[in-house]
Amino acid sequence: MMPMSSTSPRLGTTPTLRYRRDVRPLHFPESEPEELRVPEGKAHVMLKTALWMILRAALRPSNSIGCDQFVYWLANNNRRACAPDVFVKLGVPDFVFGSWKTWEHGTPELAVEIVRPFDGKRLTWHERFERYYEMGIRELVRFDPEKPPGERLRVFDRVEGDLVERVVESDTSPCVTLGLTWVVAPLDGLEVGLRLADANGALLLTEAEGALRRVEELETRLAALGPTR
């Protein structure tokens, strides 16, 4: 075998390349312009944060969970984006990101939109839906805590290329992406929130709820032992 030349490229090195025109960098913003920002109500912040924490506790570190970051799916268009209240990308280890680009990390399978009483200059639901359709989302959830029971939860599935709304009854429906169940139940001190339950019907807990549950179980065991001498 001939010895490798000292001038041969080595694996992992970046070659020097020349281009036929100047590179025109495309910037993908991580936040809205100041004039388009709309203050969030406290209840909305609590609902999305608690759901994000539930998913983090259940899915990390093997999966990525986002919360209100821009998702971009067209590498040549920085004006086409969505910012789900919560989203999940399976199989990509969680990391800190300012925005999510599908051509780098893949398309999220699951997105959740929690309706605000006032969205200001934000996109209409129809406009958001069309963007999720275009993005290739597999399961889209829309939760409106202000609606009456039976109308709060809407779920859309990608079926044979179509993004179609499923029939939801009694404020509960399967979360097909995660093999769990969507449940409308009290959350983070609010009477109505969007939660997930396992196959046995037990609610998934946030890290804080889990810690409180462990303290309560410990206190119960200590009480069962009786007073110490």
pTM of the model: 0.84
pLDDT digits (tens, 9 = 90+) for 102-151: 999 999 999 999 998 766 557 899 999 999 999 999 999 999 999 999 99
Tell me, what's the pLDDT at 23? 86
Tell me, what's the pLDDT at 226? 73
Q: Does 3 have pLDDT greater than 50?
A: no
Note whether 208 and 184 are within 8 A (CB).
no
Q: Secondary structure of the chain: what % helix, strand, coil (to 5)?
A: 25, 25, 50
pLDDT digits (tens, 9 = 90+) for 41-51: 899 999 999 99
CB within 8 A of 90, min separation 6: which ones?
63, 109, 177
Residue-range domain boundaries for the chain: 34-225
Q: Does 207 have pLDDT greater than 80?
A: no
pLDDT digits (tens, 9 = 90+) for 53-94: 999 999 999 999 999 999 999 999 999 999 999 999 999 999
In what order do the strands lie in the sheet containing 86-89?
A: 64-66, 86-89, 110-114, 139-143, 153-159, 162-165
Tell me, what's the pLDDT at 145? 95
User: What is the CATH number that goes with domain 34-225?
Assistant: 3.90.1570
